[in-house]
Amino acid sequence: MSDWKQILGKEVPAHLLLWNQPMREKFSRDYFDFSPVLLKSLTGRIAECVAMPRTFVELARVLAVARDYGVPVTVRGAGTGNYGQAVPLQGGIVLDMSHLNRVMAFEDDQVTVEAGARMGFIESVARQRGLELRVYPSTFQKATIGGFVRGGSGGIGSITWGTLWDSLVPAMRIRAMDEALTVYEVQGEDVTPYLHDYGTLGVAEQLTIKLVARTEWVQIVAGFPGLNTAWQCAQELAINPTIKKRLVSLHEWPIPEWFRPWNQRISPGHSLLLMEVEYRASDTVKTLVASHCGHIDLIIDPDKYHKSNGVSDFSWNHTTLWARKTSSRWTYLQTRFDPHRLQEQIQAVKLAYPEVLLHFEWIRERGHLVVSGLPLIPFTNEKHLNELMDFLETNGIPVANPHTFRLEAGGRMFSGEQFWQLKERNDPQNLLNPGKLKNLSERSVLTVNDGQGGM
């Protein structure tokens, strides 16, 4: 053992450290295999140790050893990300935060939690209090709040409440990797650089997130004989201010055929619209579906909400997961379609790339309605993938590339010199998730890249 391993073993109880190779391999992965490109470049990257602190004191001891001996630290939540955020590129320590999971305090319309708290648990506790999460990923039953905030973007609820950048996280407590392991209480606009930064600016110990009053949600699954009528119905639902909604998710056939728990209950050959709407709006939505030549395949009443397979289990990047259960050749992209040009853009994509299967999620971002596209692509080679991305960009469909682990090249991140100032202050040795960013000496002014993040 090198010196740092011996010291770590003395500073931290043995049951909080994993040294055997199978466990190190397990905790050095996330869902990067959704990308054949990342699968090739990230396979075999493995931590030298996994640390699992259960208190902030234990966390500080792990970080102190890493700081003193120059050991890289890769922070991990539940490993539900898709871009290799949790993969240690340079060995060192994987810091598993999932045992720092307490719900600390509810206050008015927000809750303060430790970073490792699972979002499914937060949602459950909040709903018992007449509240609920505003936005969460399709992996919310496993995903930690810290992992979502530092590596995600939007999800269920984004149709109403937007993404992480829509003031969903009013405060965070960040521990820096500097000489003093300084703890910063970050609030308001100062939170923004720490959103979707892959943990490169510090270790989030505690977060405050906004909640909203609980709604009784009915889940409705509707089929349509064609994609054209389906997206028109989805669009009309999305823009209707009188219908409270949590999810509007559309899937071109044959994607619905791969939703195995439901594929005997839906109409073959039909595009599928998945909806979560306020229970009182059920009849209005049924009428809307019928007006677009659709039909209701399935209704799940509010008393079964979160108690079995729900529509969110087939939305966002869970859609990609179901496709890959059928064949590992399927991969995906993250895009933004223009709701005012949607028909034109759909036609352009289907004409040039008929093999691409379209999957849309309607969301709001800074108050504006946008259509997030997570199309499924049968992977052939990287050249074809890059040509497709170039084609989409040329046709006014921005792409957030999920086939890179470099933060500035793929995910959405803070733009500007302030990011690098924080990096120099908080992580002067560049020990936090090294390799996911350019070196400080190579820094440039970054631009925002709109990506969904996570599943």
Domains for the chain: give ranges and CATH numbers. 3-96 (3.30.43.10), 103-213 (3.30.465.10), 217-400 (3.40.462.40)
Measure the CA–CA gap between 165 and 81, rounded to whole angstroms: 18
Q: How confident is the model over 63-91, as pLDDT tens digits?
A: 999 999 999 999 999 999 999 999 999 99
Task: Say if residues 271 and 224 touch (Cβ distance below 8 Å).
Answer: yes
pLDDT of residue 449: 36
Q: Is the pLDDT of residue 445 over 60?
A: no
CA distance 2 to 312: 46
Q: Label residue 258 exposed, middle or buried (CB < 10 Å: 0-12, 13-18, 19+).
A: buried
Answering whether pTM is above 0.85, one says yes
Report how far residue 244's alpha carbon sits from residue 157's, in angstroms, rounded to the nearest whole number. Answer: 10
Helix (H) or strand (E) holding 218, with range, is strand 217-224
Burial class (CB in 10 A: 0-12, 13-18, 19+), 421: exposed
- Given a cut of 50, whether residue 453 has pLDDT beyond it is no
Identify whether the C-beta of residue 117 lies closer than 8 Å to the C-beta of residue 142.
Answer: no
pLDDT (mean) for 29-34: 96
Query: What is the arithmetic mean of pLDDT over 46-56?
Result: 98
Other Cβ atoms less than 10 A from the Cβ of 417: the count is 11
How many helices, marked H, and strands, marked E, lie in the chain?
13, 20
Give percent of the chain with pLDDT exceeding 70. 96
Q: Indicate if the pLDDT at residue 454 is higher than 60.
A: no
Please tell me whether residue 425 adopts helix, strand or coil conformation: helix
pLDDT for the residue 448: 37
Phi then psi for residue 73, to 5 deg, are -130, 125
Q: 214 CB contacts (<8 Å, ≥6 apart)? A: 126, 127, 130, 131, 132
For residue 452, pLDDT over 80 is answered with no
Distances (CA, A) of 4 to 1, 62, 67, 71, 156: 8, 10, 10, 8, 42
**Residue positions counted in the chain:** 455
The pLDDT-based confidence of 339 (bands split at 50, 70, 90) is very high
Indicate the residue type of 219.
Q
pLDDT of 413 higher than 90: no
Q: What is the mean pLDDT of residues 433-455?
A: 56
What is the CB-side half-sphere exposure of residue 444 using CA atoms within 13 A? 8
Cα(36)–Cα(301) distance, integer angstroms:
39
Contacts of residue 183, defined as CB under 8 A and 6 or more positions apart, other chains included, come to: 173, 174, 175, 176, 205
What is residue 450's predicted lDDT score, i.e. its pLDDT? 37
Instruction: Give the model confidence (pLDDT) of 117-158 as tens digits.
Output: 999 999 999 999 999 999 999 999 999 999 999 999 999 999
335-349, 373-387, 407-421 — which is least confidently predicted? 407-421
C-alpha span between 288 and 222 (Å, rounded)? 11
Mean pLDDT, the chain, rounded, equals 94
| Region 30-54 average pLDDT | 97
Mean pLDDT of 222-251: 97
Rounded Cα gap, residues 209 and 152, in angstroms: 14
Query: Residue 184 and residue 354: Cα distance in Å, rounded?
Result: 50
Distance CA 149, CA 204 (A): 9
Query: Residue 439's pLDDT is what?
Result: 59
